[in-house]
Amino acid sequence: MNDIVAIKLEHRTVLKLAGDELIPFLQAVVTQDISQVTPTKSVWSALLTPQGKFLHDFFVTSSLNGGLFLDCEKERAPDLLRRLKLYKMRSKATLELTDNHYTVLALQGHDLDKKFELSLKKGSSKETFGGCVYIDPRHQAIGARAIIPTENLAVFMKEYDLTEGTLAGYDQTRVALGIPDGSRDLEVEKSILLENGFNELGAIDWDKGCYIGQELTARTKYRALIKKRLVPVTLTGPLPLIGSDITNAGKNVGVLRSLYGNQGLATLKIDALGSDQLLCNEAIVTPQLPDWIEITS
C-alpha cells in the first residue's frame, strides 16, 4: 500500500462556505442535491446559466466547522464566487476565497480504501488533517481527491506515506476514462451537461427540485435532444492542436478538446462515432468509448 501518489492540482482552488441558510440557498442554484453532503460523503455538481448551459463545475465536501468546501477551477474561482453571491441575496450564508490556504490533491494507486479507511463507493469521505479525503464522486477508477490545509500538507504526505505524482499522470487517467475537467474540456455558456457525461457521472440529481437551468436540462433529457458527446479518442499521425476541427468525409463533425500524447477528448456528433474516416488535420481519429457512456440517438 505504499505505491499511492499525490498529485497537486495547482489549477484548482477552494471556496469556503458557511451559514445557517447555506444548504437551502445552494439547493436552489446547483445541479446536485447538496443535502447529501456529510463528513462521510462528497458530491460533484455544476452551476448553469438560466438557459441550461455550463458555467462551472465543482466538488462539494464537508468542512470541519459544519460548512462546505467547493473544489473549483482556480482561475475562474472569482467568477464562481461572484455568481453565487448574486443568487445568495439575503440568505444567511458566507462565501469566501481561501487563496492558497488549501491544497487540492488527486490521489492514485492501489488500495486507496484501505490506506485512507474509506469505502470504495463514489464520494466516500473522511475528515483528516483539517481537511478531507474522498473517493472521486465521478468514477472510482480515477482514484481519490483531498483538500488539505497547505500548512499541514507535508505532515499529511508523511503520515500516509505518499509520493508526489504529476498532473500529466492524472490527466492521462482522466482522459482515458472520458472524464471532463471543467472549462478545459467544456465551452463556458455553450456546452450542455448531458453531452459531456455529467448525467452518467453523477453531477445531476433529477429528484431534488428546481435549480438554475433545470427546466432546459430536463427537457434535453426527456426529449432526447442530445446530438453530440464528449468521448475519448486515439490519434494516429501528426498530432494537431487542441481546438482543431474533426471531419468525416470533409464535413465538420466535432472538435478536439484535450490531448495528452496521442490520447485526447473530443466532442463528436453521435452519428459520426462509428465512422472509420474521422480526421483531425492529418491525424486519424478513433473514438474509444468507455463502458459508462450511454449513447442515445
- 188 and 253 part of one domain: yes
- 134 and 210 part of one domain: no
- 45 and 113 part of one domain: yes
Residue 223 confidence (pLDDT): 87
Residue after which a domain boundary falls, among 165, 197, 212:
165
Q: pLDDT (tens digit, 9 = 90+) per residue, 171-187?
A: 999 999 999 999 999 99
What do you get for the CA distance between the two ends of the chain, in Å? 44
Q: Nearest-CA neighbor of 16 among 125, 90, 86, 104?
A: 104
Residue 159 confidence (pLDDT): 96
CA distance 51 to 88: 19
- 213 and 110 part of one domain: no
Residue 2 confidence (pLDDT): 56
Residue 135 confidence (pLDDT): 97
Q: Of 104 and 294, which is predicted with more confidence? A: 104
Q: pLDDT (tens digit, 9 = 90+) per residue, 224-255?
A: 789 999 999 999 999 999 999 999 999 999 99
CA distance 248 to 273: 10
Hey, which residues does 255 pair with through a beta bridge?
245, 267
Return the CATH number at 277: 2.40.30.160
Return the CATH number at 133: 3.30.1360.120
Q: pLDDT (tens digit, 9 = 90+) per residue, 257-271?
A: 999 999 999 999 999
Q: Which residue has the cell 472538435?
A: 255
- 74 and 99 part of one domain: yes
Query: Cβ contacts of residue 178 below 8 Å, gap of 6+?
Result: 197, 230, 231, 232, 265, 289, 290, 292, 293
- Does residue 221 lie in a domain region? yes
Kindly tell me if the per-residue pLDDT of 1 is higher than 50.
Answer: no
- 123 and 201 part of one domain: no
- 60 and 198 part of one domain: no
In the predicted model, what is the mean pLDDT of residues 184-197? 96
Phi-psi label, residue 219: left if phi above 0, alpha if psi -120 to 50, beta otherwise = alpha
Q: pLDDT (tens digit, 9 = 90+) per residue, 42-88?
A: 999 999 999 999 999 999 999 977 899 999 999 999 999 999 999 99
Query: Cβ contacts of residue 182 below 8 Å, gap of 6+?
Result: 56, 57, 72, 73, 76
- Does residue 176 lie in a domain region? no
CA distance 237 to 283: 4
Q: DSSP letter at 182?
A: G
Q: In one letter, which amino acid is 169? A: G
Q: pLDDT (tens digit, 9 = 90+) per residue, 286-295?
A: 999 999 998 8
Residue after which a domain boundary falls, among 165, 194, 224:
165
- 42 and 143 part of one domain: yes
Kindly tell me if the per-residue pLDDT of 297 is higher than 60.
Answer: no
- Does residue 129 lie in a domain region? yes
- Does residue 226 lie in a domain region? yes
In the predicted model, what is the mean pLDDT of residues 165-176? 93
- Does residue 172 lie in a domain region? no
Q: Nearest-CA neighbor of 108 among 177, 195, 255, 5?
A: 5
- 42 and 114 part of one domain: yes
Q: Which residue has the cell 480504501?
A: 113
- 113 and 245 part of one domain: no
- Domain holding 48, by residue range, is 5-165
Residue 46 confidence (pLDDT): 98
- Does residue 118 lie in a domain region? yes
- Does residue 296 lie in a domain region? no
- 146 and 235 part of one domain: no
Residue after which a domain boundary falls, among 165, 193, 224:
165
Residue 66 confidence (pLDDT): 83
Residue 203 confidence (pLDDT): 98
User: DSSP readout, 241-295?
Assistant: -TT-EEEETTEEEEEEEEEETTEEEEEEEGGGTT-S-EEETTEEEEE---TT---
- Does residue 295 lie in a domain region? no
Q: Which three cell numbers stand for residue 82?
A: 461572484
- 157 and 239 part of one domain: no
In the predicted model, what is the mean pLDDT of residues 159-178? 94
pTM of this structure:
0.95
In the predicted model, what is the mean pLDDT of residues 207-230? 92
Percent of the chain with pLDDT over 90: 90
What is the number of structural domains in the chain? 2
In the predicted model, what is the mean pLDDT of residues 1-8? 84
